[in-house]
Each structure stands twice: as C-alpha cells, then as structure tokens.
Structure 1
Amino acid sequence: MATRRTRPAPRPPEGTPPRQELARQARRVLADAVRVAHWAAEHRGRVTEPTSATERERAAAALDLTPAQVRVAWDRARLAGLVELHGDTARPGWRLRAWDSDDSAALRGWVALLDAWSLAHPAPRGAEPAAVAEVVEAVPQVLSLLQLSAGPVHVPALLDLLGQRVAELREQRCEVPYDALQDAPARPEPAGADGQGVRAGLRDWALDGLASVGALTLGDGHATLTPLGNWAVWVKLEQICVAAQSPAGHIEQSAEDMLRGCVRLTPGPARDEYRAWLAARPAGSAVTELVAVARGDDALLRGLAFEALRVVGAAAETEVRAAAAEPALRPYALLWLAEHDGADPDEAAEVLTREEATWLWVDTAAAVVDHGESDLLVRHLESAVQGTVPALLDEVRAVGHPRTVQVLVALAAAHPDPALAKALRRAAFQVHTGGA
C-alpha cells in the first residue's frame, strides 16, 4: 500500500455562513442567468440561444429584463454550466435541472462563473491579450490577500499588488517589461506604481470583474471579499491541500494509471486518491477520461472508474446516463444513477434486470480472476443471484460476456468440490465450442 503524507486541510474562515446560506447567495448572483436558461429551454422545447436582437427582445419582454441584461445572463448561464453547448445546439445542463434542489449545484455553478470572471466581464477594448492573461494569472494572489486581511483593503494597495505580481510573473519568464496597453483607456498611474507597464485601467478591470460575479464588493476606496468569495478561496486552498496528500505521482498520471495505483488501496484511501486526482483537473475532462477507462478490457478498472465517478457526483450524470446505453457499462451506470437518485447502495441492485445482474456478476468475477485470490473467486460464486449453480451456469452461458470461458475455467480450478468443478469445466467447454 502506498504511503501517504498528510497535511491538515485549511479550516473554513471564521464567520463563514452555513453552506445552505452560501447556496442562497450563489442563486441570487445567478438568478437572471437561471431565468434566461429556463426561458431558452422552454421557448421552443429545447435550449434556444437568444443571440439575435429579436430573440433578446422577446426574452427581455418575457422576463422583465433589458436586451443587454439578457445577453449578459445568457453568457453567465453558459459559463456556469446551466446550459451546455453540443455542436450547434445547446441543452440544459445538470446544474439547471438540480438548481433549486441541490446546494452543490448552485455552489459549483457559481465557482465555475468565478473561474471564468474574465470572460463574463470582457477586458477593455484594445487590451493586449498577453497583458490580460498576466493580470488574470495574478488575481488569485489578490484574493488570498483579501481573505488574509479578513476585512476591507485599500484599492490602491490591491492595484499595487496586482502590478507587483505581474512583474514577478514576467521576471520568472525572463521577459523584458513592456507597456502592453498604450491604447487601453486608463487613468494616470498612482504614485508608487510598479512601473512594469500594467495600466490602472486593466487592473481596475480585474477588480470590477471580480465584483461583477459576486466575489468582492467595492466602495469608499476599499475592496472586501463577499462571504461567497471568502468561501471560494478556502475551497481552492482545500483542493490544494487534498492534492498535496496524494500518493506520489498519481495526480499527474492518466486516469488509467491513477486507477491502477489504487488497486491495492482500501476504499477510504482510494476515495482520497480519487478526490486528489479530480481536484487537479476540470470535472468535465476528468469524467470523460474515467468513462474511457471503463470502456477498456480490465474489469477491475471498470469498477474503480465508476467508484471514482461516485466521488465526482452530479457533474458526471450526463455522461453516466449516456454510458447506460452501452451494454458493457450499463449495469455499472444503472447502479450509479440509482445511488445518485438516493437509493440505498445495498438496494440499488434492484434496478438491474436478471440479465444485467448476471453480466455484472461475470464482469466482477473477471476482475477477481485478473487481480484477486482464488478463495475470493469461490466466495464470489456464492453471491450469484440465481441461488443454484445449474441456474447460474444456464444464465451465464446465455448472457454472452466475453470473459465467460476464462471465469468458468478459473472457478473450476479454484473450487474444492470436484463435482462442481467438473460442472464448471463442462460449462466452459460448451461456451467455448458453442454447444448447449
């Protein structure tokens, strides 16, 4: 078993509101985005992007908004995952369906908007893209300072910090400082500015952008983190700590290699590893990678991939529902969906048909054959839903799992009862030759 170096996770900031209250605040920030997303979904029975002036005017009239507010709300709906683009069409995202009932959906949607603040609040016209990217990269340090200050901070101090951080980033890249925004609208540089060419207009844009998505408030020359912003910084720090506790090398590995590294871990440490791996990458790409591993030939990795998808939670629902259409993944997907919908894990198997349960039994046996011990394989025989070995063999032969022969041969070799072992070998021979 891999050794682990544990570090204490950061504690939530003192005075952080309960999760339910934070979710209410997130819903308020994205209220217009949710309304526009619902309107677009119901307007023609599918999500219709209000891109034309006519569509925006119709949405504005229906929702008591201005056309400009509709455009902003639609952009936020896309950035927050309330709607998902699939080629030329858009569909309601899982967060929109779960918005009112799942606090996690609201909070994750808001964090996605925060992560995309520079898209939700476009940079000044004429801004040099490289300079914009530098300011965006420097913003996390500003948020950290605001959290450490635990109260209002003078805006000039934050602007100065932004400039200093940009200068550090350039120095780390061995770049020559330059004035990147000669044409951008800007006020004169304040005394003591860093002189590295990041105009105050662009730095003001960063603070205004964070305020526009509800991460901070601006007033009387001060900036203050909102409860949501304070919580978001803590979440990011927690993710860093979780990632730091991963067994060495797993975070940077592919999903398949990460899951192989978890084969010998007990369930608790394995879940910690899944969380660390997931914290280091976008949820969408992580889910896609895990499902791709589940489609492979290794039955054990297939099961572990769905265990990791349980850690992902609701963000994996769309891809898991799609996976239910694939015979090899269907039993795993149906169990995942049943548990996601609130079924007790011990009773979730009731959603499977007899054929699906038998296919899953063979697939699990294949995982034991490849990675387990012979006594575990014998115990697995006792877990079959059929109740008797003859009934099991009849249904196993009919289910058509590609590993049926190997499983039956391995069972025959492992089972201590000679008569039963003979029956298993006969069944394996019949499947192999196509006989009855």
Structure 2
Amino acid sequence: MSEDRPTLPPVRLHSDAELARDALAAPLFARAVTLARWASPDTRVGAGGELVEEQLPEAAAVLELGPADGVEDEEDAAACASEAWRTAVDTGLVDVTDPPDPAGSAADAAHGTAAPGEALAVVAGGSPQDVLGLWLEAFETAFADATAPVLDDLGALLGDDGELDFDALDWDPQQEAEFLEAVLGNLYLLTVSGGGPEDGWVPLPALAASMIVPDDMGEPTDDVLEQVSDAMMRLDDQFRVLEPVGLVAYRPVDEALMAEEPEGSPAAGELDEEDVARYGMVRLTPLGLYGVRARMLEAGVDAPAVGDLAEKGADVLLASLAYYPEQAGRAELEQWLARREPAAAAEELLSAARGQDPAAPLRRLRCQQGLLLVDAAAEPSVRAVLDDRELGGLARVWLAERGAADVPAPPQEMVFWLAVDTIAAQLDADGETPELEELVVGLIGQHTGFLDSAWRVDHPATAPVLEAMGRLHPEKKIAKEAKKAAFKARSRTGA
C-alpha cells in the first residue's frame, strides 16, 4: 500500500461568503465590532490597552447583555465587555494610545485613549477573505484565553515583590497550548473522517479519553480514569471560552450530574443515551472547521480541502484522489470537471491514468469514477482508447453503461487484465474488505478457468492479486488454487 496517503481526509468547507457571515454573527466578534464603533477619544484605557474599570459598565450597557447571553449580573456583564474589548484591540478593530508618563501626577489618573481602528472598515466593506482574516485573529485571542491559567486566588500567587509567582501556578503555557491543539485536531479528524456521530456531536468523555487513554490499553486503571475526569473539567472550561468566538457548539457538563457522582468517571462504564449529553457534548461549527484547518496549515500539516485540486492537472488530481473518502472524492471530481469541456476532461483523465507503476491501478479506478460524471460529449475521447491495453477495458465499461452502439467485444486478455487491475486498485484503496471478497467470488464463479488463465496476465500486480484472492476466497479448494496460481505468476516473471 502506498506510503503517500495524506495526513488527513479532505474537509468540505462552506464558501468564504458563508463563513464570513458566520464570523460576523459569532457573539464575541460581533461584540468586539460593537465596542469598536462605540470607542471614542473619551474612552479611557489602561497600560495594556484594557478598558479602565470605570468604563466597563458603560461598555456592558452598549452590548445590551442579558440572561440569553449567559450574563446573570453586573460582574458577568463586565467580564464579557472586557473580553470583547480585548478582542477588538487584538484584531485592530480598535486603536489605543498608551497612557502618558505618570511622573509628576497621580499614577491612577494616567490613562490612554481609544478610537475605531482601520480594521473596522473591513467589517463593512472588506472581502469575505478579509473578514475571515480578522476572525482568525479573534480566534487566536480566544485560544490564548482558553489556555490561560485559572487565577482563583490571586493573593496566594503573589510573591514578596508583589509580582505573580508563575511557578506556583503549576502552569506550562506551551503544554497547555499543545494539549488544546491536539484536542481540536482530534475533533477535526472525527468531523472530516466521518468517525464521529452523524450529527457531529462528540461526547466530552470520549474526547477526553482520546487524549488520555492509550490505544492499546484494555480496561483503564483508576489513575487513568481520574486523568480523564480532570481532562473533562479542563475541556469544559476551554470550550466555554471557545464557543462565543464561533469555533464550537457546546453543551456544557451538567454540574448537578457531577455532584450526584462525585467518584469515578463516566468513562468507567456504559452511559444511557439520555445521560451522555449531560456529561458534555461538543462539535466543530463550519467556521470552526475553517479555523482549525487554518491553524493546521500554518503549522505545516497536510490538511486538504475539497476544491484544492480544481485547477490542477489530471495527473495531480488522480494521484491526490487515491485515498479520498467516496463523497469527498466525488465532490472534488465534480469541481474539477466543472471547469473543463467533457471531451477534453475525459482525454486528460485517461492520459493521466496510464502507467505500470504500483499506484497506476488506483489512478485508473479514480479515472473510471471521474468518467462516470462526464456526459456523452466525451464519447470520442473514450473511443480513442478502445485498443489501449490499459484503458480499453474501462472505456468499454463506460460506453456500455451509456448504451453506446458498436462497442467491440474485448479480447479475453483484456478482460483478465482489467480484472487484475481492478482488484489491485481495490486492495490499495481499502485493503481486503468483505466487498472485495464478494468481487473475487463473483469473478471466479463467472469465468470458467479464471485462475488457470489469470496467472499468465502480464500485469505487475498479478502475483499479489492472486495471493490476495487466495486469502479472500471462502472455499479452501479455490483458495489453494489461487495461491498456486500466484506461485506460477511469480515463477513466470522471476519476481
């Protein structure tokens, strides 16, 4: 099997325009925009660009926060306003001036000022890509907040010099960031691979366990289960921070449930379906898929998206499609074909499908799948390869499926060559699956003396294919004959 498989399956992203609308509607970003429009020379900020405490009630009032926003009191409102203001500053929606040198005046009287930043114009008149660029900066701010330490007791963390004692925090910023990056990576993989639930929601215990429990571990130990529980609580805090920026949809852990079961972990046994959601559920939003992928690309991760290949040549297309999931592969083919005339597209696909290298059978299978999406205007290009040993078989299949007239019967040698090529492609794509077993049983059953003839096929994969047929066929006698045929094939080629 090829070692060139992509790191991740391709993601199907919404259009930039749709994603930009989602970004502008994300609560945290929308609040940052509102405060940027509110900012004026009268707005007072501290040394770090933060709103001074006296300004927070006015900022909160401008945002019109209430219970629907998860805000229950003035303290919550002030915290939300402060968070939105910091996002506005970090994204350039607001420009701040530093406080003047307090020398000669009371230090607490010194403050800077603020005004709408240049980035605010992007919100009203920028392109979708420009808006998404701003949102990515807001995501970075939210990510930093999610990985920041929880300062419950500041007094206990202050050193003799009045500065924070970071050693006492037991907080490693790099470790925290790497943990959250890995969590989002797992969530992304579950989403794009279809490995998660159909509705996209992933139980928090399962996500936490994926970070803690080794793959080869049987029954988790009590220590591991405790680590899973700790990770759940950690993620609960982090997803609460990331939800307002639009990255995830999140159903928090039911605190009452955790109080009912102070010992143990939900990973310790089976949960009733009705209880699963009470332990927390999370899913990436379409905007979240875009954001996590952007971070991956920046980190050098191969994270393809459907549409990436639309302007590439057919050789790159077929090589890249080799291991795409079925639906993503079809979507990529549709986008590639939409930019080309049917006859020219078919000719380019067929040309790229040729070859005797190990990856060639799978290229031809993907070529055949692409041709299924091309209309009858491609018929001249397909007929042009009827006499080609590598392509003539799939060309006949295409013509026959469309009811074309005057399709010549394939020579027996071409029939067997196509059979070997098809099985080789299926083996490379998916391995020895039940579906391939059905294909093998059908081929041998339909063609009398198949194994007696197959070992003579001049195809690089003949021997490996026959060996696989021997493993796959349920009848011991036929399986043994297939293995003998594989031996003959190797003897004939000296391989």
> Does TM, scored on the shorter chain, surpass 0.5?
no
Q: Taking structure 2 as the reference length, what is the TM-score of the superposition?
A: 0.34
Higher normalized contact order (CA 8 Å, seq sep 6+, divided by chain length): 2
TM-score (norm 1): 0.39
